[in-house]
Amino acid sequence: MLGEVRHRPCGRLAALRRARTNPIPNITMARMLADRDSSALHINQARRHERLARRYRQELIAAAIRGPIAALKAKVDASGERDLERQGAYDDTLAADADLDDGIRTLYNSAEIFDRENPGSITLATLFPDGRFSDITQLPLAQEPAAAGALATKVDSLGATHALAPHAGKIRALADAVRTALAALGDAIRALKMAEAEEEIAKNAVARQYEGNYLDARKTLGRALAERIFPVSRNSSAAPTEAPAESVPA
């Protein structure tokens, strides 16, 4: 007599049956927020916790985390604004440097033309002894304004009536613009660091309240319910992105 033939369910059907019998993954103790976690992660986890607390009618716990979340979001926005200002100051610095380089290059070209039109003139050698304007334009940016100022002084030595005399004032103005831009960049960098420090303080406040909420929930609600009002940390980044398949009858 032949034995009973058993058909194994197809892979998809078997998976759905397993999902129906064990729909919720094992949940370990809620993961607390760490210093290494980003502000975005702090906000995300705290908002999920606040939502879950409301879902289980734990309004006092939900309310306790709202203020720290809002404060951190404000500090994150402030850091973003300060960083945009830093980038803008950096762009202005590069533009001022390019303008100064152009001014020095223009003076070099004008000195060449002057010497050609005035045989025996050594204007170029006086202004650029090594015959290169790049000795100034390729200096570190912080050093270039001083070198440009020295160049303007050499132009002054040619005399107030010299054809190149107007270049001295132009070079000094361009050098001052670089100094101003560098100072503004320094201020922007310091402002960003301050904003980031304030953001870090706000982030730590969220983490402390998050942990405090967990400890309070454990005391008042018990571990089982306390775990439910905190987002699942294991594989939480792999949350479903598609609607679950319809149930298949056994």
Which residue, among 119, 153, 146, 147, has the nearest Cα to 133 in the 3D structure? 147
Q: What residue has token string 């993954």?
A: 25
pLDDT at residue 232, as a whole number: 84
For residue 44, tell me if it sits in a domain: yes
pLDDT at residue 30, as a whole number: 82
The structural domain count of the chain equals 1
pLDDT at residue 13, as a whole number: 43
pLDDT at residue 164, as a whole number: 98
For residue 247, tell me if it sits in a domain: no
Instruction: Walk along the chain (250 residues) in steps of 10 and give the mean pLDDT of each run.
Output: 44 45 52 95 97 96 98 98 98 98 98 96 96 96 98 97 98 98 98 98 98 96 94 60 53
For residue 126, tell me if it sits in a domain: yes
For residue 26, tell me if it sits in a domain: no
For residue 51, tell me if it sits in a domain: yes
Domain span including residue 47: 38-231
How far is residue 203's CA from residue 184's CA, in Å, rounded to a whole number?
28
For residue 136, tell me if it sits in a domain: yes
Spatial neighbors of 27 by CB under 8 A, at least 6 apart, are: 227, 232, 234
- Region label for 222, one of left (φ > 0), alpha (ψ between -120 and 50) or beta (otherwise): left
pLDDT at residue 27, as a whole number: 46
Instruction: Give how far Cα 229 sits from Cα of 23, 55, 111, 240, Å.
Output: 18, 8, 77, 19
pLDDT at residue 25, as a whole number: 45
For residue 245, tell me if it sits in a domain: no
pLDDT at residue 21, as a whole number: 46
For residue 4, tell me if it sits in a domain: no
